[in-house]
A and B are shown apart, each in its own frame.
Chain A
Amino acid sequence: MKYQRLPLVFYGFFQGMGEVGLLFSRTVKNIFKKPWEKDIFLQQVEEIGVRSLPVVSMTAAFGGLVFGLQTYIGFHRYVGAGTEAYGGPIISLGLSKEIIPILVGLMVSGRVGSAIAAEIGTMKITEQIDALFSLGADPNKYLVVPRVLAAFIVLPCLTLYGDVIGMIGGFFYNVVVMGVNRFIYIKNTLLYLELWDITTGLIKAAVFGIVIAIIGCWQGLKAEGGAAGVGRATTRAVVIANIMILILNFFLSKALPASLGG
């Protein structure tokens, strides 16, 4: 019996990938078709972007602080007392390439991916999606496109904002709290941090944005079986998106060149 379950799991996995792939390709095609749902797009930018600012601020600030803390300890212990100010570029690099994009991705997934799945799922089970269709609106174009596009654009913006907050956090801990030399800290950060490091983080964030929105929409559109079904879709949207974010993050880190300089 046990080995009969295994192929089923694989079957589910590939079926899911197929569904998401189809949904994504339809969405990309629909981006270029009229009419362009500007109002919903702007509403989603507000929902995904502006309303995520408090969460992103908090996570980025404390992410920056704690990363600053451990880097300080690392330098102090292994390189020697007095060298802590050289941690600046390491902190900024780690934050902009990995920590901030991941934190933003996971936080927004929890906030927005779940909301998307719940909203679309509720529309599905109350026949509102059918009603959209009957009134001449393509549900994909009307619901999925604005959300995917908004998340694609907003996540890099949030990440850039998070980078700034996180780097201030790292700077604050080292320079203000621990009193390392601020000139060395800033000089080295500016010397070794490349624009590409920031860009890598933003590229990742854009990918995460697409993942969060498309998984949320996919689960919402699949929802069935009343309120419990919507609940399941919501949970699944967050869990699947979070796992995808962490997996994709590794492969993106591996695939994107570490530096453009060579």
Chain B
Amino acid sequence: MIQIIDLHKSFGPNKVLQGVSLNVKKGETLVIIGQSGSGKSVLIKHLIGLIKPDKGKIVVDGVDITRLREDELYKTRRKFGMLFQSAALFDSMTVAQNVSFGLERYSKMSQKERRKRVAESLAMVGLRGIENLMPHELSGGMKKRVGLARAISYRPEIILYDEPSTGIDPIRADAINDLIIRMKKEIKITSIVITHDMVSSYKVADRIAMLYQGKIIETCTPEAVKESKNQIVQQFIHGSAEGPIENW
């Protein structure tokens, strides 16, 4: 469903992506791991056209989205829901307005239907009765979950999670893992999850891909990752300071 082909992106002299190629199949959950600063966020921002690549293609359902005009891009963006690493809630709007923002633009729901969907989406991430709070009244973890509720509110086909469990307590984080798995089973959602949390990677992933020095150096099932012969992968999943990865 998504094919990333030889993607390159630099910011000035900083070569972040140097030929990333990756396929994501419909209905699967792909976890992307990699060091801080390796370009994971930059990579998934390419998928919804937030960042334009210097070189390479991103094909979503047969369409190369790097070549699309703004108005055509709008249609493919509808397919994606994105949870930002910083939650990125609109701080001048209430929680309810945040969650219904995408609904207002991507669906033709009546106001009543929207209100119901907002409550539903918030319940899915374990939040109730906070519709009228402002983002600054929420804890960091609650913001993250409201951000997730906002991303899933319009029922996109593909959800991009940028570190869903960072800043959330372990129990809530596991509830989010369950949510990712449930959405895959129940509504066949395709997910791309960025995480540093190996436990949750093993739990939710169909496949794990590791980004290192601007390239995907390994893509395989969670079981195979544990057995990987690649020293860099081994060092990363065991979280050890000793190994081939130096500049950490």
Binding site for B on A (CB under 8 A): 122-123, 126-128, 130-138
Residues of B within 8 A of A137 (CB): 101, 105
Chain B residue nearest to A35 in the complex (CB): B105
Residues of A within 8 A of B84 (CB): 127, 130-131, 134
Instruction: Output the least CB separation between A115 and chain B (Å).
Output: 12
Secondary structure type dominating chain B contacts: mixed
How far apart are the CA atoms of A132 and B105 in the complex, in Å? 10
Known A-B contacts A135-B105, A136-B102; A126 and B88 likewise in contact (beta carbons under 8 Å)? yes
Interface contact B88-A128, CB-CB below 8 Å: yes
The yes or no answer to B45 lying at the interface (CB within 8 A) is yes
Instruction: Output the least CB separation between B130 and chain A (Å).
Output: 19
Interface residues on B, range: 20 to 34
Q: Please pick, from B45, B70, B80, B101, the residue contacting A130 in the complex, using a CB distance under 8 A.
A: B45
Interface contact B105-A134, CB-CB below 8 Å: no
Q: List 28 A-B contacts (CB under 8 A).
A: A123-B90, A126-B86, A126-B88, A126-B91, A127-B85, A127-B86, A127-B88, A128-B91, A130-B45, A131-B82, A131-B88, A131-B89, A131-B150, A133-B48, A133-B49, A133-B50, A133-B77, A134-B50, A134-B81, A135-B101, A135-B106, A135-B150, A136-B74, A136-B78, A136-B102, A137-B101, A137-B105, A138-B70
Chain B residue nearest to A122 in the complex (CB): B91
Chain A residue nearest to B93 in the complex (CB): A128
Instruction: Output the least CB separation between B83 and chain A (Å).
Output: 10
Interface contact B86-A134, CB-CB below 8 Å: no
Instruction: Output the least CB separation between B80 and chain A (Å).
Output: 7
Interface contact B90-A134, CB-CB below 8 Å: no
User: Given A133-B50, A133-B77, 7 more contacts at CB 8 Å?
Assistant: A122-B91, A128-B88, A128-B90, A131-B89, A134-B77, A136-B77, A136-B105
Q: Give the A-B pair count, Cβ closer than 8 A.
A: 50
Secondary structure type dominating chain A contacts: helix
Chain B residue nearest to A133 in the complex (CB): B50
Interface contact B50-A130, CB-CB below 8 Å: yes
How far apart are the CA atoms of A10 and B66 in the complex, in Å? 33
Interface contact A134-B101, CB-CB below 8 Å: no
Interface residues of B in 57-111 (CB under 8 A from A): 70, 74, 77-78, 80-82, 84-86, 88-91, 101-102, 105-106
Known A-B contacts A126-B86, A128-B91; A136 and B106 likewise in contact (beta carbons under 8 Å)? yes
Interface contact A134-B82, CB-CB below 8 Å: yes
Residues of A within 8 A of B70 (CB): 138
How far apart are the CA atoms of A130 and B45 in the complex, in Å? 9
Residues of A within 8 A of B85 (CB): 127
How far apart are the CA atoms of A135 and B49 in the complex, in Å? 12
How far apart are the CA atoms of A131 and B48 in the complex, in Å? 11
Residues of A within 8 A of B81 (CB): 134
Interface contact B90-A131, CB-CB below 8 Å: yes
Residues of A within 8 A of B77 (CB): 133-134, 136
Interface residues of B in 27-61 (CB under 8 A from A): 45, 48-50
Q: Top 7 A-B pairs ranked by shortest CB distance?
A: A136-B105, A127-B88, A135-B102, A131-B88, A134-B82, A127-B84, A135-B101
Chain A residue nearest to B107 in the complex (CB): A136
Chain A residue nearest to B151 in the complex (CB): A134
Instruction: Output the least CB separation between A70 and chain B (Å).
Output: 45
Interface contact A130-B106, CB-CB below 8 Å: no
Interface contact B88-A130, CB-CB below 8 Å: yes
How far apart are the CA atoms of A135 and B104 in the complex, in Å? 9
How far apart are the CA atoms of A257 and B151 in the complex, in Å? 56
How far apart are the CA atoms of A122 and B74 in the complex, in Å? 24
How far apart are the CA atoms of A236 and B85 in the complex, in Å? 29
Residues of B within 8 A of A138 (CB): 70
How far apart are the CA atoms of A122 and B70 in the complex, in Å? 24
Interface residues of B in 114-151 (CB under 8 A from A): 150-151
Q: Which of B48, B70, B84 gathers most chain A CB within 10 Å?
A: B84
Residues of A within 8 A of B90 (CB): 123, 128, 131-132
